[in-house]
Structure 1
Amino acid sequence: MASASHHNEHTDSQPQSGSPTPILTLSRSIIRPYCMLDAPSIAHEANNPLIAQWMGNLFPNPYSLSDAEAWIPIALERLPLHEFAITRPDGTYAGGIGLKVHSDIESRTMEIGYWLGEAHWGAGIMTEAVIAFSKWAFETIPDLLRLESGVFGGNERSMAVLRKAGYTFEGRKRNAVFKNGKVLDMHMFALLREECLAMQE
């Protein structure tokens, strides 16, 4: 898992329920917008300290049903949509993936963040999802020049995903993270538009 933007503030907007149309249908997973019906599954999968240890502190730990019910409307009210659910092909909720928009002189850079429930680890789901989602981002956001991801030191699984997805390790921010009483480095990875397009040739 990479650190991702995840807010648990309350909002009064009422997103649509039902089964949203996928943005990507892959061999191991489906990536689609969230719906309110996802809330119990999100809470079940996300309520795991093995996931939370690699996420920013806005990712709740423990993760309750009310946290999920507060998160989904926020994910849906930001247009265009940048936050998506990952499900197995049979519809089982597995995790999340999304983009965080940068601003000012970095306005053409976005941060990719993702997490996967423990029951779904080791099946190649996230590598496939990051590859496809990165391509989707460059194809649907014409001004996007760069995707980047910061990974806490020690999170070898997430670093491996990014490397397999074609991301380049650009450097280590020393002692940049304080999480659960520990000081960690932040490992920075990035994928450029031309690199992503070259992988498709």
Structure 2
Amino acid sequence: MATIVSESTTESTPAPIVTTDKCLIRAYALSDAQALADAGNHPEIVAYMRDTFPNPYTLESANFWIDFALKMDPMVNFVICTLDGTPAGGIGLKPQNDVDSRNWELGYWVAMDHWGKGVATSAAKAFSLWAFKQFPDLLRIEAGVFSDNTGSMKVLERIGFTKEGVKRRAIYKKGKIMDLAIYGLLREEAERLG
């Protein structure tokens, strides 16, 4: 069960917005940059990320992202940490606009050291529930998953997302063409999960 927290405990490390039995999610801190650069600078991570995720993922890349995330209003991008506070990935929402303005896209990544330990599943579920509570106008959260990324598909299916369709041959990444699976979670489905 996730605990939602809203007040900061120290100036240097923000308080978690969500704590689960596997991880905590909090706002980025400048001190997270080196750990995130080390965690994100692997071809296995980059393989399933959009091209806006830099490769190589350098300290400069991490600092740029942290600055960007902290300046967003509303803040919708956060760091996933182990329970001892070590940065282990990122999670966030991409608000849409126009007629899609109440449908936001979920994105996340977890350091390879934490694959297969339930961290991504725990973080994605708790964060999705937090998002629906935090943003009352949000109707649905969707996620696009590259067809080769079976691990992420399993994460989404475990937490109640429904595979709604496949955009055939929609992704071109490093010389490879892939399908894009579209997953969605409606507010009322999240309420049943929570």
TM-score between the two structures when normalised by the length of structure 1: 0.90
Alignment of 1:147 with 2:141, yes or no, is yes
Report the counterpart of residue 164 of structure 2 in structure 1: 170
Alignment of 1:195 with 2:189, yes or no, is yes
For residue 140 of structure 1, what is the amino acid of its counterpart? Q
Select 1:116's aligned residue among 89, 103, 110: 110
Q: Distance in 1 between matches of 2:168 and 2:82?
A: 36
CA RMSD of aligned residues (A): 1.1
What displacement does 1:70 show?
1.1
List 4+ stretches of structure 1 deviating above 6 A: none
Report the counterpart of residue 183 of structure 1 in structure 2: 177
Between the two structures, name the one with larger relative contact order (CA 8 Å, sep ≥ 6). Answer: 1
Q: Distance in 2 between matches of 1:152 and 1:63?
A: 20
What displacement does 1:18 show?
1.2
Q: Distance in 1 between matches of 2:49 and 2:133?
A: 27
Structure 2 gaps, min length 5: 1-10
What displacement does 1:198 show?
1.5
Q: Superposition pairs for residues 81-92 of structure 1, below 5 Å?
A: 81-92=75-86
What displacement does 1:91 show?
1.1
Task: Give the secondary structure class of the aligned counterpart of 2:16.
Answer: coil
Report the counterpart of residue 58 of structure 2 in structure 1: 64
What displacement does 1:80 show?
1.4
What displacement does 1:30 show?
0.6
Task: Give the secondary structure class of the aligned counterpart of 2:15.
Answer: coil
